[in-house]
Structure 1
């Protein structure tokens, strides 16, 4: 004869089931907020064929395509954050992808993002002020059609180690706030239309190597 279980036992088993289900389906799955952010980022960049029906952190196309020469279409994730059952986007590499949109302010909706590389595209517009609240370590916007000054808010990204802005159409004075980037090791600003002198605050960049 089957033994009856009490209400408290039933509730306990139900909680266990929910926990195990959460672990099973949450692990190695991109956080849903980041999936929505990626949709908007793709639209802003233009011409992205990202299929969000495929999990972005699955290491499958169209999210992770084997590099071909100077081309790169790769998204990398961290799925091993302690106490977190979701994967989080940490790197976006879109080199030579014929992108013709603008730089996405939506990057700040990827809280774990450390690297964005948009080298050799046709992106226009300015660097979003919103990026100043990110925790990026590497930014490469080499060889696009970007304009305007470098926002002073970029100086707030104290985690930044590499900033590559060569071969664009940036203008104005180079902001003195770049001197706040104490971890910066690489700074490439040549082949733009900057005016004025280099700010004295750049002398504070004692970690600079290139």
Structure 2
């Protein structure tokens, strides 16, 4: 499993509007196959409340990732490390690191399945019905808008849409939706940095002296 997908454009003459879904899929997969490490800024927006969380995510294939909370202020300095089959959650208030099996953290697992997984898995027709909806400007960047309907929906999420930057082939926005077509959550991606030579030990690093507590 590659965790660089977590868990992504230019209109006008440079915008290749003639590409088919298969061509867009191949371009996205080629881009992620070439990634050794990736850093991206995320904004998670809850559709019901409008509340948002700012994050910084780091991915190192095949199975190492780190998510740092940037805002709001009461989440500052908290972070999560996904290392193989384990997750480590640092809580600065208690100076503790909670260690648990990845499968036991459903919310975190869902986040990385959507954005940190293998691009092949996202486009897997056995898991999703995939449709290229067309072209759409997103914050002045032309994108390919792709719809994914889950064949095995989980909870209230029945599908999601992904805006992928033309030419860069990186996700710029994700929106999940429920059975009524209502948006449940939005994730915006910005400032992608690829293949900068990140050290895996820096990604795994925990605060010195923090107590590691195994959580059942």
Q: Which band: TM-score by shorter chain?
A: under 0.3
Higher-helix-fraction structure = 1
Structure showing greater relative contact order (alpha-carbon pairs closer than 8 Å, 6 or more residues apart): 2
TM-score (normalizing by structure 1): 0.24
Greater C-alpha radius of gyration = 1
